[in-house]
Amino acid sequence: MDTTQLLKGVLDLAVLAVLRDGDGYGYDILRRLRAAGLDEVGDASVYGTLRRLFAGGFLNTYVVPSDEGPHRKYYGLNAAGRAELQRSGKVWQGFALTMDDLLRERGTA
C-alpha cells in the first residue's frame, strides 16, 4: 500500500496533533512529524498544510528573530484549531476502528 496517499488524507490532522504539544516553525514541525514515524512526509506538503490551516483560521502565527539565519515564522493552535483537532481526531478514530473491524473480519489483520 502506498502510504503517501494515506498521508495526504491525514496530514492536516497530524500537523494539528504535533502543534498540540507546542508551537513550532516549519522545519521543526516537519522534524517532529518524522520523529513520530511519518518518515515519508515531504517539506512542501507540510508548508502547504500550514498555509492552508492558517488560512482556514485554525492557526496563529508570529515571527521570532533567529541568530542562525532568517527570522522564523512560528505556528500555534488557536481555539478553532484545538476544536478542529478534537473533531478530526474523533473522525479518524471512528474510521480506524471501522478499518480494523473490516480487516479482522476478513482475516487480514
Higher pLDDT, 109 or 97: 97
Strands annotated E in 17-101: 24-25, 59-64, 72-77
DSSP 86: H
Confidence class for position 108, pLDDT limits 50, 70, 90: low
Confidence class for position 105, pLDDT limits 50, 70, 90: confident
Mean pLDDT of the 9-36 span:
96
Higher pLDDT, 8 or 44: 44
59 contacts 80 by C-beta, under 8 angstroms: no
pLDDT of residue 15: 98
**How far from 87 is each of 16, 40, 60, 74, 93, CA to CA, in Å?**
11, 25, 19, 23, 10
